[in-house]
Structure 1
Amino acid sequence: MSFGEFSRSMRAPAHFLLWCTACLDPENFRDFELVERKQLSHNVAKFRFALPIPTSSLGLPIGQHISCRGKDSVGEEVIKPYTPTTLDSDLGHFELVIKMYPQGRMSHHFRELKVGDYLSVKGPKGRFRYQPGQVRAFGMIAGGSGITPCSKSGPQLASVARAILENPKDATKVHLIYANVTYDDILLKEELEGLSEIYPDRFKVYYVLNQPPENWNGGVGFVSKEMIQAHCPPPAEDIKILRCGPPPMNKAMAAHLDELGYSKEMQFQF
């Protein structure tokens, strides 16, 4: 079956418009039409999918992710977790920012996805659930695709931060350390900078690059224990450190946090 035939086979059923306001189903895949695709860089694109009606919300709790189903380059089914960059307050649609890797099986599916095609989605999934005011401050440590929906760890951090900051009844502060290889690898930078400008007293972001450009004033190399000390809230019962990134980074960050005195209860890994 060609990709076009596969996409057409996933067209929305007749009862599409009869779905309830919250659109996700944790047990069954549902199909959502791609209505806009915007290329952000040579291998990153933003995909906007329509919900059944303008007042629909996806129904994804803060800190949860979805499972997406597609076809790889040889036509085999592949399922991978992602996290939208939008919140349930963004009615009528949801968006995914996807970094597509040359050998990625789901990357192939997104490279071939065109406006008018449908994406099969199931959820919500995930262990983390956020309640407003549950901590005084979050420290967040993300590496590469850890800040994006390239995996289930994705915008858990970006979406959690945005949900916290946009809630007028939530005074929680957020400190984000975001590590990448090069400047061009920093995804959602415009959105993150926007949060910094709107909420300067509640949101701080510190970028770390392994290969920084000239005149770079952020961190250089890998996220160190000293960087965590300088840019995350110190250990306390009313703080929590969220981390996500490649396995080697997660392991290194866990060791740093342990050495700095953050208990296991103060840490959460996506």
Structure 2
Amino acid sequence: MPSTNEIAIAVGIIAILAIVAYLAGNKKAPEGPVLDQVEWRPFKLVKKTPLSHNTARYRFGLPKETDALGLPIGQHISIQANINGKNVMRSYTPTSLDDDKGHFELVVKTRWTAHQTYEKGNISKHLADLKVGESIMVKGPKGKFVYTEDLAPHLLMIAGGTGITPMFQIIKSSLKNPDDKTQLRLIYANVNEDDILLLPELKALEAGSNGRLVVYHALNNPPANWTQGVGFVSQAMIEMHAHDAGVQGGGKVLLCGPPPMMGAMKAHLATMGYPAPRTVSKLEDQIFLF
């Protein structure tokens, strides 16, 4: 028969195993990323802030206030909605960073027809009609561009309209990092002054950048006493702001905007000696088209 000591040891071992089993059964499984590249996940609209007659900032909540979206700087997300019986998808770059815990934000311009009515069947209209508490379906991240502090010594960014969103995200991230010394130049084109998205934020970022960020606006219909660019972005405008990011300077050029504008920018840059961008841009390219 087993001795008293042997029985005590056996009872102790059984007790320890029982405790281990209990803790294993009640231990929370490690949480995965908020975003998923394959699975569409719902995110609720928690706030909508009008920025202009046709643009708003949309804030979507994450599962917990401490959650981050998990989106590398320079990448984007896909949004899907069922519109008129069809699944419609569109890509957007949030203007928020992963430092902004518990939510992410999109700045979206609602597209209008020539007769000033909503263009049917697009995600921007779906977002404009979305009510607080309703959800969108999101997956990601997507994209070939990931910004890091050592990516290039200089970045020349040329944006048109809502093409400002990836540039804004990159600028915010760069200026928040005290170890980042990248020189940033932004040429931002719009039709009217009221069309300039994130203007107060851009002014604040430029003012607090210690000269690292220079923003130059070009307007088709400038107001009286306008002191910056007039008309379409020209080669002369690019040359004026590309001296630090020239062809031989190791800098990169980032482009995002309407296709006709992007075609013109490619032509200007080719004349200046920049290599032709690929059909699908790669991170190592000197010209990256979002």
TM score, norm. by length of structure 1: 0.87
For residue 60 of structure 1, the aligned residue among 59, 63, 71 is: 71
Structure 2 runs not aligned, ≥5 long: 1-28, 112-117, 277-284
Distance in 2, Cα, partners of 1:75 & 1:188:
34
Distance in 1, Cα, partners of 2:253 & 2:202:
18
Contact residue 21 and residue 55 of structure 1 kept, 8 A: no
1:231 positional shift:
1.6
Find the counterpart in structure 2 of residue 175 from structure 1: 185
Percent of residue pairs identical: 48
For residue 139 of structure 1, the aligned residue among 153, 156, 162 is: 156
* Superposed CA offset, 1:93-149 (max 9, x none): 1001111112051122112101111111000001111221121110000011211xx
For residue 48 of structure 1, the aligned residue among 51, 59, 72 is: 59
Q: Aligned ranges for residues 1-270 of structure 1 at < 5 Å?
A: 20=31, 22-72=33-83, 74-101=84-111, 102-103=118-119, 105-147=122-164, 155-232=165-242, 233=244, 234-264=246-276, 265-270=285-290
**CA RMSD for the aligned pairs?**
1.7
Contact residue 44 and residue 134 of structure 2 kept, 8 A: yes
Distance in 1, Cα, partners of 2:134 & 2:211:
42
Partner-residue secondary structure (3-state), 2:108: strand
Contact residue 244 and residue 269 of structure 1 kept, 8 A: yes
1:189 positional shift:
0.7
Structure 1 runs not aligned, ≥5 long: 1-17, 148-154
The one-letter code matched in structure 2 to 1:202 is R
Contact residue 52 and residue 195 of structure 2 kept, 8 A: no
Partner-residue secondary structure (3-state), 2:269: helix
Distance in 2, Cα, partners of 1:21 & 1:213:
50
The one-letter code matched in structure 2 to 1:46 is R
Partner-residue secondary structure (3-state), 1:39: strand
Partner-residue secondary structure (3-state), 1:257: helix
Distance in 1, Cα, partners of 2:222 & 2:210:
25
Distance in 2, Cα, partners of 1:42 & 1:30:
30
Contact residue 38 and residue 140 of structure 2 kept, 8 A: yes
TM score, norm. by length of structure 2: 0.81
